[in-house]
């Protein structure tokens, strides 16, 4: 299989655990390059556990999972940071460093991932901020931004190293509906430019208005529609 046609995520007979406790059994699905996929299910149904397994925060016990070229059932601890660079991660709670500007928050991540030329760092920061519609926010401090703006910076941060997929766990969960709409539009724009998206959400209105494939966690299984 050529690299371009290989799925970004492929799970086969994967069992998802929290500690010793099984959460999801026999999970099988693929996500291809550039796809948009929703992950739904009631509170406690296992959405976060599944996403954590995909970025190797939870260990995959049984079955196989390949994510961005890494086989999670064989992954070495030292490879986990490299896996996470290939999959941008966006959580519900914005975790920007509160003591530094937007620009410095982003530069911090770039430097930590090996970027050392200031001109390239500045260019990349300008690009990702433009991509999320915050082209003039470089110098602002996190507390000077609204919740929606902070979430945009978090998305920009996840995009810095040009991931093949963005994994988002309830990215609009803490936002007003109107602001949530703006955020989903940011994800759609990013998706239109070629990055795959896997988004856990409780917002069924998004699915009606912006239809895409849906994975549903229910009764210990994942079903695909
Ligand atoms: N850190 C943990 N330790 C032990 N059990 C956990 C942990 N986190 C979650 N669980 C349990 O695993 C199951 C799945 O939880 P998970 O958080 O994956 O569900 P979820 O679908 O993401 O829920 P929500 O919509 O509330 O985020 C639940 O029974 C939960 O109680």
Q: Which of 15, 45, 220, 223 to mutate to test the pocket of ligand 1 (most atoms within 8 A of CB)?
A: 45
Ligand 1 neighbourhood includes 46 CB (under 6 angstroms): yes
Residue 223 neighbours by CB under 8 Å, 6+ apart: 215, 216
ipTM here: 0.93
* Pairwise CA distance, residues 171 & 92, whole Å: 4
Q: DSSP characters for 73-84?
A: TT--GGGHHHHH
Give the tens place of pLDDT for each residue, 157-191.
999 999 999 999 999 988 899 999 999 999 999 99
Ligand 1 neighbourhood includes 48 CB (under 6 angstroms): yes
Mean pLDDT of all residues in the chain? 93
> Contact 126/137 with Cβ under 8 angstroms?
no
- Which residue is closest in CA terms to ligand 1's atom 28? 44
Go through the domains of the chain in sequence order and give each one's CATH number.
35-58+81-224 (3.40.50.300)
Give the tens place of pLDDT for each residue, 8-50.
999 999 999 999 999 999 999 999 999 999 999 999 999 999 9
Determine if the pTM surpasses 0.80: yes
Q: Which atom belonging to ligand 1 lies closest to the Cα atom of 202?
A: 25
> Contact 14/64 with Cβ under 8 angstroms?
yes
* Pairwise CA distance, residues 66 & 162, whole Å: 19
């Amino acid at each position: 299989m050529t690299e371009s046609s290989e799925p970004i995520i492929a799970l086969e007979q994967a069992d998802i655990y929290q500690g010793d406790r099984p959460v999801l059994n026999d999970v099988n699905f693929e996500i291809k390059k550039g796809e948009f996929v929703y992950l739904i299910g009631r509170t406690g149904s296992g959405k976060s556990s599944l996403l954590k397994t995909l970025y190797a925060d939870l260990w995959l016990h049984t079955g196989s999972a390949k994510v961005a070229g890494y086989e999670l059932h064989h992954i070495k601890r030292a490879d986990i940071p490299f896996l996470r660079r290939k999959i941008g991660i966006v959580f519900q709670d914005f975790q920007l460093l509160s003591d530094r500007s937007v620009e410095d928050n982003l530069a911090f991540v770039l430097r930590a991932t090996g970027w050392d030329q200031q001109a390239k760092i500045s260019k990349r920061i300008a690009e990702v901020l433009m991509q999320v519609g915050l082209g003039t926010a470089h110098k602002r401090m996190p507390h000077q931004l609204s919740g929606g703006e902070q979430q945009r910076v978090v998305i920009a941060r996840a995009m810095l190293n040009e991931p093949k997929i963005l994994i988002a766990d309830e990215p609009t969960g803490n936002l007003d509906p109107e602001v949530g709409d703006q955020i989903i539009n940011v994800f759609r724009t990013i998706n239109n430019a070629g990055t795959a998206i896997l988004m856990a959400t409780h917002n069924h209105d998004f699915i009606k208005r912006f239809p895409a494939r849906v994975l549903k966690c229910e009764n210990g299984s994942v079903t695909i529609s």
